[in-house]
Amino acid sequence: MKLYYVYVIESKEGFIYKGMTDNLEKRLVEHNNKTLSFWTKRGTNWKLIYNEEWLYSNYRMIEIKQLFLLNKNIAEKT
């Protein structure tokens, strides 16, 4: 099974974003370089504020998706 990370990052401006990746360090660099995520292009200096490791399985992916749906508004701070 493959290891994945569920993570939450915060920008200098106070924006919050959550995501999932199999390479946390690479993904944080991508957020700060504004290369892949539409939602994080508006922020700068993204810092990791939470992460959790998950072993990949279909059951786990369902759990992760439910976590995202329960907190779908975390991507934007109002």
pLDDT of 22 > 80? The answer is yes
SS3 at position 4: strand
Output the average pLDDT for the chain.
Answer: 81
pLDDT tier for residue 57 given thresholds of 50, 70 and 90:
low
Measured torsion, CA atoms of residues 45, 51, 56, 60, in degrees rounded to the nearest 10: -120
The answer to whether 76 touches 33, Cβ cutoff 8 Å, is no
**Top-confidence residue, 42 or 69:** 42
Mean pLDDT score, 50-75: 68
CA distances (Å), 26 to each of 30, 55, 58, 72, in order? 6, 18, 24, 23
pLDDT of 5 > 80? The answer is yes
Residue length of the chain: 78
For position 76, what pLDDT does the model report?
46
For position 68, what pLDDT does the model report?
67
